[in-house]
Amino acid sequence: MGSRSTPRFRFTSRERPGTSERPRARNDQLLTVGMFIIPGAIIYTLFLIIPIIQAAYYSLFDWNGLGPVSDFFALGNYQRAIEHSVFQSSVVNSLIITSLSLLIQLPLAMTLALMVGRKLPGRSIFRSIFFMPYVFSEIITAIIWTFVYNPGGGLLNTVLGTLIPGYVPQGWLANRDIALVAVFFVITWKYFGLHMILYMAGLQSINTEIEEAARIDGASELQVIRYMTLPLLAPTIRLTIYLSVLGSLNQFVLIWILTSGGPANATQVMATYMYRFGIKSFNLGFGSAVAVLIFVISLIFSVGYQRAVMRRDYAGTV
């Protein structure tokens, strides 16, 4: 490596006679690589990579974000977070949201993708409706659902009051026992369409003749789905599990606007905890430590999952 500190092209036309038809100007290309990478690299490094590294550095200090960064605190911030019962329950809540997403949101998306299927009349209308909330901002979504869950005359209470005689209006987001589920429902409302779209795309790439052959051999529709369709969709399923876990661990804006982590921390997740105890209470050193903890959890999951599960999907592509 030492003698090749400047990047060089691996195959020049002279080394590889097979590629010599391409009359490329090699020195030009080296320049092109540099010129093309630099604009993106500068912005990406300055505003993504360096901030993340800095977060790891600041997390070692007791720093309010205004004065000098001087009170070295070693791993004190990490210890404080890990020992804080609210942080512990926020990790649990994040894991609950993740599990609910995997157990409810993904199967729901899959069921709908199979139902809307490849040939149901009106499929594009249903697809458009189910996917629509994906484009709304979290802010708009949260405001609308604040009204839906309104304890007085909110939409949900009005609808349930009409359907169920003797119904007592609920404060959906004010009740410790149901607030997290109510929040999860909004997350599902907004995001299940994304997974449905991914499944539909996967379904379209499946060769229908294989399933047809199974049907002719006498397989029932459920058997076809269980033994043919789902295994063929496995790469898409693995991808959606990955996106769903990372998305759930990183839930923030919706929950913060809906409940700010309340009532009594019942909907506190890792990111809302970071905002509440890091930024709002002017403790950027501590907030950085929490941010690093969230990154590390995401990173461990991501690397482990890709190693264990997704490697074969990319085997041919890289």
Chain positions 138 to 177 lying near other proteins, rule: CB under 8 A, are 138-140, 143-145, 147-148, 150, 152-155, 158-159
Q: According to CB under 8 A, which residues from 287 to 316 bind other proteins?
A: 287-288, 291, 294-295, 298-299, 302, 313
Interface pick for other proteins out of 8, 14, 119, 307 (rule CB under 8 A): 8
Q: Is 104 helix (H, G, I), strand (E, B) or coil?
A: helix
Q: Is 126 exposed, middle or buried (0-12, 13-18, 19+ CB in 10 A)?
A: middle
Three-class SS state of 72? strand
In the region spanning residues 206 to 245, those forming contacts with other proteins, defined by CB under 8 A, are 235-236, 238-239
Residues 27-66 close enough to bind other proteins by CB under 8 A: 28-30, 32-33, 35-37, 39-41, 43-44, 46-52, 54-55, 58, 65
What's the chain's length in residues? 318
Please give the Cα distance from 313 to 307 (Å, whole number). 11
Residue closer to other proteins, measured from CB, 48 or 75: 48
Closest separation in Å from C-beta 192 to other proteins: 9
Minimum gap (Å) between residue 189 Cβ and other proteins:
7
Exactly one of 3, 21, 83, 165 binds other proteins (CB under 8 A); that residue is 21
CB of 55 to other proteins, least distance (A): 4
Cα 287 to Cα 58: distance, rounded to the nearest angstrom: 9
* Nearer residue to other proteins within complex by CB, 210 or 299: 299
* Rounded (5°) CA angle 276-277-281: 90
Question: Contact with other proteins (CB under 8 A): which of 2, 17, 18, 23?
Answer: 23
Q: Is 189 in the site for other proteins (CB under 8 A)?
A: yes
Interface with other proteins, residue 181, by CB under 8 A:
no
Residues near other proteins (CB under 8 A), total: 99
Q: Which of residues 66-95 bind other proteins (CB under 8 A)?
A: none
b/e for 231-260, b at 16 or more Cβ within 10 A? ebbeebbebbbbebbebbbebbbbbbbbbe
Alpha helix ranges (H) inside the chain: 26-44, 50-58, 76-83, 85-100, 106-116, 123-131, 138-148, 155-163, 179-204, 208-216, 221-224, 230-232, 234-249, 253-259, 270-274, 284-305, 311-314
Choosing from 163, 216, 308, 318, the residue that interacts with other proteins (CB under 8 A) is: 318
Using the minimum distance from each CB to other proteins, give the nearer residue, 78 or 295. 295
Q: Cα–Cα distance between 281 and 76 in angstroms, integer?
A: 17
Q: How far is CA 218 from the centre of its chain?
A: 40
Q: Which of residues 96-135 bind other proteins (CB under 8 A)?
A: 112, 115-116, 120, 126, 128-135
Report the candidate in 106, 108, 125, 101 with the shortest Cα–Cα distance to residue 236. 106
Instruction: Scan residues 241-280 and list those touching other proteins (CB under 8 A).
Output: 246, 250, 252-253, 257, 271, 274-275, 278-279
